[in-house]
Chain A
Amino acid sequence: MKARFARFTALALLLCLTAITVTSALAQDTAPPAPVQEVIAEDNPNDRGHAVLVRWHPSPDDGTTGRVTEYRIYRARCLPGVQPEVAEFERVSICSPALGVGAELDFVDVSDEIENGIPYLYKIETHGSAGVSSTIIDEPVIATAQWFDKSRLTMLIAILIASSVIIYWIQKAQGNTNIYLRPVAGLKAFDEAVGRATEMGQPVLFVPGIMDMDQIETLAGVSILGYVANMTSRYETKLEVPVSRSLVMAHAREVVKESYLSSGRPDLYHDDMIHYLTDDQFAYAAAVDGIMLRDKPAACFYQGKFYAESLILAETGNSIGAIQIAGTASPAQLPFFITACDYTLIGEEFFAASAYLSNDMRHIGSIRGQDSIKMLFMIALAIGTIYVSLACLGVPLPNWLDMSLILDVSGS
């Protein structure tokens, strides 16, 4: 009798346990997912306002089970006397589930509809296959504008240092004629090229690139043209400037006219020295080649932005025996210019040329300052490379070299 009772009891217990398990599982499938946790809404930092940062931890049901399908974020204007539960929320975004519970999710609500200084309420709905659960942030959030973007503090410090160094060198350069500038053969050869043209009784050809005035290289090229024009006026040598853009023509005419005027020879200037050919790249190259072959200039300057026509021009100039000085920041064209021309100003040499040639101590001081900054950056890059390499190799570093500290500083 006792044994029968014991078997019955065990069976009943097993059935109960099975029932509880099945009921529980059924209940989970039909219940909505758990709401998100630790929801925070705050003013988005370092901006002009009109933005709110919403952060939350995912629902405990967010994971591989697929019970959470998305999160919906709502915003409502917080009106006095209106309870958050009855506020009129408006959906602002939908976020995908995190597929895990560890990571924190966030969303920046940026909209001109958010008015600075006005409180807003936020609600996050957790949507799943079995329903929706929602979390309302009771505390209203106010978007405000900040005067300073602290995340750019590092940049501000860098700019201040750079500006200070440049201003220091400009100040130091004034009244000091003893600043060393690395000799650039190409810049020294300008006089020589114009001199050659003078001795040979042939014109000087100046090509300011094929692009318009919106290109920095064209601007630099036209600036150098001013210097060359000053020399041709003093040497009484013919100058020819074919251009491919009408704006460049107008600008170049002003620059050359000014140069001839400043050297006291306005009588030698005439507008036709700077003449428009065509906007088309290869038509322009063909036309300039034609000028070279007909007029046989003794000095050719290519200073500006160039593309595939660079080698065509430089090879033609070489074939007529001209001294050629090129200057461009286009890396693809540099090899052609270097091999076909007598001298080539590479990259920054080209941009620094006008200051170098003018011999104005303020400009030279500015170049010296920029060089000092470049040196600082190079040192910083070298130190950074060594630091990262040591960190990757697992070499123990002192606390003050902790990367997280550096990141915190830049992040702040």
Chain B
Amino acid sequence: MSEQKRDFSNARSILATDCGSTTTKAILIELVDGEYRQTFRGEAPTTVEAPFEDVTRGVLNSVLEVEELARTRNDNRRILNGEEIITPQDGDSGVDIYISTSSAGGGLQMMVAGVVKSMTGESAERAALGAGAIVMDVLASNDGRLPHEKISRIRQLRPDMILLSGGIDGGTVSHVVELAEILHAANPKPRLGMSYKLPVIYAGNKEAKQTIWETLGSVTDLKIVDNIRPVLERENLQPSRDEIHELFMEHVMAQAPGYKKLMSWTDAPIMPTPGAVGAIIQTVAKLMDISVVGVDIGGATTDMFSVFDGIFNRTVSANLGMSYSVCNVLAEASLPNVLRWVPMEMDETELMNRIGNKMIRPTTIPQAMEELKIEQAIAREALRLSFVQHKQFAVGLKGVQKERTISDAFDQSGSGETLVDMMNLDLMVGSGGVLSHAPRRHQSARMMIDAFLPEGITQLAVDSIFMMPHLGVLSTVHEKAATEVFTKDCLIYLGSCIAPVGPIKPGKKMLDISLTFADGKTETHELMQGDMFSIQVAYEEPVKAVLKPAKGLDIGAGKAQEITTELQGGLVGLIFDGRGRQPFVLPEDPTTRVAKLQEWSLATAEYPETETAAE
């Protein structure tokens, strides 16, 4: 960091880079007519590996591209001075803020440990995931493994750092010390930098600090922070997350080639890429007071983020992705589940072969419409499975005392229920190649709707150029700029999905729709069970809508309750989904299913060229 405690509130330009495993992406954000806008974007191969072995080389290349693009508008614009980024801005030269994220070298890989897996173990996992780490394993006193198995596992995985928690303040000491003894016996070595001690963060019972220090102080680089679970009723994740970031910079980044130089350039600590995405989603949810679900589907993993009632959760589905992990998607989802989304007659063996091909040639992209449809069918299942895992992890705290009344006699709700409430979800953001770079935005919208099955009214958007990591780290130094760019340039609003919830017989009317457009024009529609249609509405011109669900159905205000609201459009517009929620059932008969898929596809302009050709 070149300068501490600088005032960034009046920044005129911001340069942000994201050093990925293969590509380094740079964006330039500038103050245009009083508001922050993303103006130019550059890209270059990441140079962590040989022959360069210096991450700054790739950063400079990508920034150079930005600079060249910026000069097309202003010939005097300069960002680089030789091999240095000019900060702060002076006239047309330089930028006021330079920030960066990184996921190069596999990101931050951690192990976490807690006394009870579903309590302090889960809290530790939440802290690590929220900080942007990949959690390789969760050790716990009750995980059913013998000590030698745990020791063997630690040695085998070789994480970047370990987060040790357990026991509330004043709670158990013996269990957490036992875990520390296992760590001591394992004597783990860090993945990078063999001469360094493994960083271990202790965030457990404060009464065990001394014993933990005596056990681990000599063999690890031990940091002690506040208890992650001081009482069972409350989590305190931030101190652990801050320490993870600190250690990520000190140990992981410092060991990677060229990162020391990069760290000296940036105006804020380098964040792990997923942590930065989480940060921007949290910021937006807080500022706009909405609940958000975000997804980043990659080739090997899928990251899910959610903020409900102000509680942030992140999960990484390590084996669900669109290229390297595509066969795992098939194995986990099963062939019939993938096939149910393919809108044409197809043999199971052929489908399996095509998916296998994708795995052994992970960098290929679909060349024919048929291949595209298959890839998007797999994407639906990968997203669905990731979301299932996310819902299982994004739960309330367990082990908390309940207060009851006699009215709870036959409805005793348990603790640890999922926080993901689809009816209260306001915004769903998709990211990753298959969503951001789909040939038609309608396809992205349909994939997200089919995979996540949003309920009631939900706004859909995709990340245009995977800008969220840059904005996430920016949100830590300039919240206003991050939010403005996020809403204006980062997100491409697709529209809104309107889906009534509840059981209804096939062919029955689900919803009476009355729309008043910005130009005063009015329209009325009826949504029947099993139907799906879209209406073109631009994002800038929201429509006033009166929605009256049929008996037993809910659109957000309760069963059969009419609502008057404003619906946001987008590139796709409004999608009315009458295929049902709770239950959502696709026809089992292959011929009927294909016919319905084609009908819905046509109604939502998903693959219009194909349909026209077929006709």
Contact = CB atoms under 8 A, between A and B. Distances in A.
A200 B405 contact: no
B406 A335 contact: yes
B32 to A, nearest CB: 53
Interface string B412-447: 111110000000000000000000000000000000
A54 interface: no
Contacts of B229: 199
Interface in A297-345: 321-323, 334-335, 338-344
Nearest to B146: A264
A343 to B, nearest CB: 6
B404 A342 contact: yes
Contacts of A193: 399
B141 A338 contact: no
Interface in B371-419: 398-399, 401-402, 404-406, 408-410, 412-416
Given A185-B412, A234-B142, A235-B142, A343 B167 contact: no
B142 A192 contact: no
A340 B399 CA distance: 17
A339 to B, nearest CB: 6
Interface in A171-206: 183, 185-186, 188-189, 191-193, 195-196, 198-202
Contacts of A342: 401-402, 404
Contacts of B144: 234
A136 interface: no
A287 B170 CA distance: 26
B173 interface: yes
Contact of A334 (B409, B413, B414): B409
A201 B144 CA distance: 19
A335 B410 CA distance: 11
B578 to A, nearest CB: 28
B283 to A, nearest CB: 32
A137 interface: no
A284 to B, nearest CB: 25
Contacts of B173: 201
A149 interface: no
Interface in A340-363: 340-344, 346
Nearest to A183: B414
Contacts, number: 92
A185 B414 contact: yes
Given A185-B414, A186-B412, A321-B401, A198 B168 contact: no
Interface in B167-195: 167-168, 170-175
A236 interface: yes
A192 B408 CA distance: 19
Contact of B402 (A195, A235, A236, A343): A343
A344 B172 CA distance: 27
Interface in A103-154: none
A340 B413 CA distance: 15
A338 B116 CA distance: 27
Interface residues of A, number: 31
- Chain A CB within 10 A, most for which of B119, B171, B416: B171
B412 A195 contact: no
Given A192-B118, A195-B116, A323-B401, A200 B409 contact: no
Nearest to B399: A196
A338 B399 contact: no
Nearest to B411: A185
B406 A338 contact: yes
A313 to B, nearest CB: 16
A235 B414 contact: no
Given A200-B168, A200-B232, A195 B119 contact: yes
A199 B413 contact: no
A278 to B, nearest CB: 29
A199 B232 contact: yes
A332 to B, nearest CB: 14
A199 B176 CA distance: 9
A195 B401 contact: no
B521 to A, nearest CB: 49
Contact of B399 (A186, A188, A323): A323
Given A199-B119, A199-B168, A339 B401 contact: no
A32 to B, nearest CB: 70
A346 B412 CA distance: 11
Contact of A199 (B120, B405, B406, B409): B120
B175 A236 contact: yes
A235 B141 CA distance: 7
B164 interface: no
9 nearest A-B residue pairs (beta carbon): A201-B172, A185-B414, A196-B399, A195-B116, A342-B402, A201-B171, A200-B171, A185-B412, A338-B409
Interface of A: 183, 185-186, 188-189, 191-193, 195-196, 198-202, 234-236, 321-323, 334-335, 338-344, 346
16 contacts: A183-B414, A185-B414, A195-B142, A198-B175, A200-B172, A200-B232, A201-B172, A202-B171, A236-B175, A323-B401, A338-B408, A339-B405, A341-B404, A342-B402, A343-B412, A343-B414
Interface of B: 115-116, 118-120, 141-142, 144, 166-168, 170-175, 229, 232, 398-399, 401-402, 404-406, 408-410, 412-416
Given A193-B399, A196-B119, 13 more contacts: A186-B412, A195-B142, A195-B398, A195-B399, A198-B141, A199-B399, A201-B171, A234-B142, A334-B409, A338-B406, A338-B408, A342-B402, A344-B412
